[in-house]
């Protein structure tokens, strides 16, 4: 009989699948902003994920409201993951390529680790922070290169997006450890859906839906079903099983995985800097994953 895999190994598996689902977010958003406003994209993602969340809660018989002590964390997670991150990302990708956005938001693992230390009581060792710093340096160098030797104004929006993402990962990871990732995400999306439905209808009032490109509709569907819901379920289960700071470093691979989508569908070029960045980021991720992370009592 085979040995049962260690919890953090299971966390790596779930986290990696979630990361792959997230990797198409930037390319899909870049396509969608050609026909839809950032507000419409954000609200559509919430409504689609909320509908899936409601069905999931019903099928899994988890329709009882979460305990009061979980509600604030669920709300913060939902606002960061479903409101702040997609809105700021869509605003930024109106003016910069999807590759640039993917690289800059690759700093999310660092933000996640810092917030986890402050909020969740995790205590990574020094080698963890050194590897994390190396990954950050590689991501910054790549962002600087793809930005033509400078940081654009859109980088500010991307910074806000990754901060929202870091907060959402930490709060969601903490609650997921008790409720489960699927239940936590489903409730977060369901709570936000009534507030997103009205703005979605309002944001579409001037859009000629008949003239919207097919790929824009496909992108909206991907953002709501895969990126916002299915990938997030795997991701939060990974955070709960393997630790927020450690599993969060898998997202260091996100800029590299996200390069494939713009190259295939948007004609964006993968530069030599990206190859060098890939080696550094992968090495940093492996060090972070194997680091022994302590948790404060």
Task: Evaluate whether residue 1 is within a structural domain.
Answer: no
DSSP 212: S
Per the CB < 8 A criterion, the answer to whether 80 and 189 are in contact is no
| Partner residues linked to 107 by β-bridges | none
Per-residue model confidence as pLDDT tens for the chain (297 residues): 455 555 667 888 888 899 889 889 988 998 999 999 999 999 999 999 999 999 999 998 888 888 888 999 899 999 998 999 999 999 998 887 777 777 777 677 777 777 777 776 667 788 888 888 887 888 777 777 766 666 677 888 888 998 898 888 888 878 877 888 788 889 999 999 999 999 999 999 988 999 999 999 999 999 999 999 999 888 878 877 787 777 777 877 777 777 778 877 777 766 777 777 777 877 777 777 677 666 555
Which pair of tokens denotes residue 42? 């954000």
Per the CB < 8 A criterion, the answer to whether 176 and 233 are in contact is no
- Enclosing H/E stretch for 139: helix 126-146
pLDDT recorded at residue 1: 47
Per the CB < 8 A criterion, the answer to whether 291 and 131 are in contact is yes
pLDDT recorded at residue 5: 55
Task: Evaluate whether residue 19 is within a structural domain.
Answer: yes
Task: Evaluate whether residue 2 is within a structural domain.
Answer: no
Task: Evaluate whether residue 271 is within a structural domain.
Answer: yes
Which pair of tokens denotes residue 103? 């690289």
CA 30 from centre of chain: 16
Using CA atoms, how far residue 41 sits from 88, 91, 266, in Å, is 11, 10, 19
Main-chain dihedrals φ then ψ at residue 61, nearest 5 degrees: 60, 45
Domain that holds residue 43: 7-295
pLDDT recorded at residue 293: 61
- Burial class of residue 275 in the structure, from the number of CB atoms within 10 Å of its CB (0-12 exposed, 13-18 middle, 19+ buried): exposed
Per the CB < 8 A criterion, the answer to whether 207 and 152 are in contact is no
Task: Evaluate whether residue 109 is within a structural domain.
Answer: yes
**Distance from C-alpha of 197 to C-alpha of 244, rounded to nearest angstrom:** 31
**Distance from C-alpha of 207 to C-alpha of 217, rounded to nearest angstrom:** 13
pTM value > 0.85 = no
Give the 3-state DSSP-derived string for 229-242, with helices as H, strands as E and coil as C. Answer: HHHHHHHHHHHHHH
- For the chain, strand residue ranges (E) read 122-123, 294-295
Query: Nearest-CA neighbor of 88 among 72, 97, 101, 75?
Result: 101
Task: Evaluate whether residue 175 is within a structural domain.
Answer: yes
**Distance from C-alpha of 38 to C-alpha of 27, rounded to nearest angstrom:** 14
The domain tally of the chain equals 1
**Distance from C-alpha of 164 to C-alpha of 158, rounded to nearest angstrom:** 10
- Enclosing H/E stretch for 243: none
pLDDT recorded at residue 218: 95
């Amino acid at each position: 009989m085979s040995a049962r895999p260690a919890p953090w190994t299971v966390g790596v598996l779930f986290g990696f699948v979630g990361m792959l689902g997230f990797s198409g977010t930037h390319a899909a958003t870049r396509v969608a902003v050609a026909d839809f406003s950032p507000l419409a994209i954000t609200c559509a993602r919430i409504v689609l994920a909320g509908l899936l969340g409601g069905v999931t809660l019903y099928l899994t018989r988890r329709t009882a409201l979460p305990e009061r002590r979980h509600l604030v964390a669920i709300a913060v997670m939902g606002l960061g993951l479903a409101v702040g991150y997609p809105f700021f990302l869509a605003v930024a990708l109106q003016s910069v390529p999807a590759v640039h956005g993917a690289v800059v938001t690759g700093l999310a693992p660092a933000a996640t680790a810092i917030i986890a230390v402050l909020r969740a009581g995790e205590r990574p060792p020094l080698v963890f922070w050194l590897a994390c710093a190396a990954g950050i340096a590689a991501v910054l160098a790549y962002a600087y290169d793809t930005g033509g030797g400078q940081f654009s104004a859109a980088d500010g929006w991307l910074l806000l997006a990754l901060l929202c993402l870091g907060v959402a990962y930490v709060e969601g990871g903490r609650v997921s450890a008790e409720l489960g990732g699927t239940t936590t995400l489903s409730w977060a999306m369901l709570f936000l859906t009534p507030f997103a439905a009205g703005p979605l209808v309002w944001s579409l009032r001037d859009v000629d839906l008949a003239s919207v490109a097919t790929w824009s509709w496909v992108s909206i569907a991907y953002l709501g079903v895969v990126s916002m819901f299915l990938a997030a379920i795997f991701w939060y289960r990974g955070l709960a099983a393997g630790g927020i700071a450690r599993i969060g470093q898998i997202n260091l691979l996100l800029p590299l995985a996200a390069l494939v989508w713009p190259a295939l569908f948007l004609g964006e070029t993968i530069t030599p800097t990206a190859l060098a960045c890939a080696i550094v980021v992968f090495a940093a991720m492996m060090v972070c994953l194997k680091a022994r992370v302590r948790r404060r009592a």
